[in-house]
Amino acid sequence: MADKPKISDAEWHVMRVLWKKSPQTVKEIIEILSKKTTWKSETIRTLINRLAKKKAIGFEKKGRRHHSTRWYYRKSVSRLMLILSLLELAQQCSSQY
């Protein structure tokens, strides 16, 4: 399996939010994670941007609301793909010892 994104523990929180409901706006993701974590909105935006760069999530632009574009983020990677990636990493680590 090529091109599996490596996702940090913090990024997993964002993925879980999108696996429950997708697509969602940044505002919706921030609202959910702000209740579950102590992260500031900029931290959550950074995590979302990292996941988009890793292509673990995708996004699309929809309409204009109050003169600003709304971006909807959606999951691009399945849970299974990420779990397989973690298992592969664990196997590589264990073979080093």
Q: Are 95 and 45 in contact (CB under 8 A)?
A: no
- Give the pLDDT of the chain (97 residues) as one tens digit per residue: 446 678 888 998 998 898 888 888 899 999 999 999 999 999 999 999 999 888 888 887 776 654 444 556 677 767 777 677 767 767 777 776 6
HEC letters along the chain: CCCCCCCCHHHHHHHHHHHHCCCEEHHHHHHHHHHHCCCCHHHHHHHHHHHHHCCCEEEEEEEEECCEEEEEEEECCCHHHHHHHHHHHHHHHHHCC
The residue ranges of every structural domain in the chain are 9-95
- CATH for 9-95 is 1.10.10.10
Question: What confidence score (pLDDT) does residue 28 get?
Answer: 92
Question: What confidence score (pLDDT) does residue 72 get?
Answer: 64
